[in-house]
């Protein structure tokens, strides 16, 4: 566990702290910070912790100087930190009433802070979470081409924190459903309570975003998921998650695993260390770590190891006759998984065909539209942020357009003379997910 941490004191009147721990990514950081500065609300700060190598740090400082804003509070640790240490260092500097973390290739929707402020003023949530906008930078190798996914409108609603955590622990729900400090504004009183109790917030986690979601779900009753999104999750070629999943031999992936001591930590809890570090392995580790650090009763948030294995060995096609399952080799030698593997193979070999439900396919009751950023000449997260603001302004018109109601919508469009800008936007949207749908 990390040394005891004491956060900076709250500054009266400062509503938000947006924390951006960064390492060697000045090229994406610039656009991230531009989204944070393009806001219609004044009482906030941007906390940047520059954990870069010396040469890269000069580039980061050049970006800060270029943007020339007193909103940006720049800090540089005395030594190179692990990702978790850098998160803790950044959190220590935050002085706002509500605190949010973003990656240096992420962003806020432009002019969204006032919306968040008004929601907090109206509903007083301890945690306010954004539906997930995902932006695949042109450099991203996760998908074949740059892409934007945008959540379809549905009302504000509260989620039961511990019920969500129980579903994540049983691998019925994707970890993103958790009230993570990543992409959520969290009341500092909750954070301070956890630090007072355990000495630090992120502790010795591998994935501080996932771990924070587990912590906050345990220590709160509920959290608010807003109608409109306000954060953008960016995936670039330098993202730790992307590299761990898709390029395990990259220098970024190797450095991340070494600094976070991933192999040693997984070994402690008898979790397989795969060549490609799957998120389910990390979720399992963070749950077990949380239970140990916070002395949680074993029967609280039970872990479904069967579903964990099924998720890891999931095959998308119908299986008719197979004696060897891919991905099962990583579980060999772990006593905990022996009976599960035996049961799984027996079902397949005896042709008891089934479809394991992977938690990654179960997100947060939010359908999404998929948009090609090239059609809007959007080349970075700041361009995407401005585009998302326009979409939010026309949110009332973004509906699920099925084959049956397109004609009716087009008639309504002509009758009500809906803005030409909106129609142009909708024409450029490639497809809606969830159903077989047709473009306008």
Q: Say how far apart CA 421 and CA 414 lie, in whole Å.
A: 14
Assess if residue 332 is contained within a domain. Answer: no
Assess if residue 349 is contained within a domain. Answer: no
Q: Say how far apart CA 380 and CA 138 lie, in whole Å.
A: 8
* Stretch 293-299: mean pLDDT: 92
Cβ-in-10-Å burial (0-12, 13-18, 19+) of 298 comes to exposed
Which pair of structure tokens corresponds to residue 83? 């990702």
In the block, which residue shows the tokens 């994935």? 207
pLDDT band for position 404 (cuts 50, 70, 90): very low
pLDDT band for position 276 (cuts 50, 70, 90): low
pLDDT band for position 316 (cuts 50, 70, 90): very low
pLDDT band for position 249 (cuts 50, 70, 90): confident
Q: Say how far apart CA 97 and CA 288 lie, in whole Å.
A: 30
Assess if residue 17 is contained within a domain. Answer: yes
Assess if residue 351 is contained within a domain. Answer: no
Q: Which of the residue ranges 133-147, 172-186, 255-269, 404-418 would you say has the lowest mean pLDDT?
A: 404-418
Question: Residue 113 maps to which CATH number?
Answer: 3.90.550.10
Give yes or no for a contact between 249 and 153, defined as CB atoms under 8 angstroms apart: no
Phi-psi region of 162 (alpha: psi -120 to 50; beta: other; left: phi over 0): alpha
Segment 195-207, tens digit of pLDDT: 999 999 999 999 9
Assess if residue 269 is contained within a domain. Answer: yes
Assess if residue 344 is contained within a domain. Answer: no
Assess if residue 348 is contained within a domain. Answer: no
Structural domain count of the chain = 1
Which pair of structure tokens corresponds to residue 368? 């999404």
Cβ-in-10-Å burial (0-12, 13-18, 19+) of 165 comes to buried
Which pair of structure tokens corresponds to residue 371? 């948009």
Assess if residue 311 is contained within a domain. Answer: no
Q: Say how far apart CA 127 and CA 156 lie, in whole Å.
A: 13
Q: Say how far apart CA 172 and CA 165 lie, in whole Å.
A: 10
Where in the sequence is the domain holding 124, given as residue range(s)?
1-298+363-396
Which pair of structure tokens corresponds to residue 311? 């998720």
């Amino acid at each position: 566990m990390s040394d005891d941490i004491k956060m900076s004191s709250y500054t009266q009147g400062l509503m938000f702290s947006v924390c951006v721990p960064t390492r060697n990514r000045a090229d994406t950081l610039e656009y991230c910070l531009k989204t944070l500065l393009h806001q219609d609300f004044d009482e906030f700060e941007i906390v940047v912790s520059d954990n870069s190598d010396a040469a890269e740090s000069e580039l980061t400082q050049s970006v800060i100087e270029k943007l020339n804003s007193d909103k940006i509070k720049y800090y540089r640790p005395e030594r190179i930190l692990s990702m978790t240490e850098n998160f803790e260092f950044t959190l220590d500097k935050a002085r706002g009433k509500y605190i949010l973390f973003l990656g240096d290739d992420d962003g806020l929707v432009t002019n969204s802070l006032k919306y968040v402020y008004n929601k907090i003023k109206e509903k007083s949530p301890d945690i306010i979470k954004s539906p997930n906008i995902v932006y695949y930078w042109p450099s991203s190798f996760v998908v074949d081409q740059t892409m934007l996914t945008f959540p379809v409108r549905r009302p504000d609603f509260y989620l039961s924190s511990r019920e969500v955590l129980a579903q994540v622990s049983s691998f019925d729900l994707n970890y993103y459903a958790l009230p993570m400090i990543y992409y959520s504004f969290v009341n500092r009183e909750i954070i301070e309570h956890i630090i007072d109790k355990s000495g630090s917030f992120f502790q010795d986690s591998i994935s501080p975003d996932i771990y924070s979601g587990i912590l906050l779900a345990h220590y709160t009753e509920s959290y608010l998921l807003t109608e409109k999104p306000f954060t953008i999750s960016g995936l670039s070629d330098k993202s730790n998650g992307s590299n761990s999943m898709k390029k395990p031999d990259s220098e970024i992936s190797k450095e991340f695993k070494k600094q976070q001591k991933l192999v040693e930590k997984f070994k402690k809890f008898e979790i397989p260390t795969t060549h490609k570090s799957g998120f389910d392995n990390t979720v399992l580790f963070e749950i077990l770590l949380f239970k140990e650090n916070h002395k949680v009763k074993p029967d609280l948030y039970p872990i479904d190891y069967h579903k964990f294995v099924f998720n890891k060995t999931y095959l998308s096609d119908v299986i008719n006759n197979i004696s060897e399952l891919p991905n099962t080799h990583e579980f060999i030698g772990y006593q905990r998984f022996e009976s599960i593997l035996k049961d799984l193979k027996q079902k397949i070999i005896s042709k008891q065909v089934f479809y394991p439900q992977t938690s990654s396919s179960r997100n947060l009751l939010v359908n999404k539209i998929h948009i090609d950023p090239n059609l809007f000449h959007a080349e970075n997260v700041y361009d995407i942020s401005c585009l998302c603001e326009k979409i939010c302004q026309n949110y009332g018109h973004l509906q699920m357009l099925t084959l049956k109601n397109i004609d009716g919508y087009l008639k309504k469009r002509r009758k009500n003379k809906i803005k030409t800008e909106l129609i142009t936007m909708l024409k450029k949207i490639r497809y809606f997910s969830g159903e077989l749908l047709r473009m306008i």
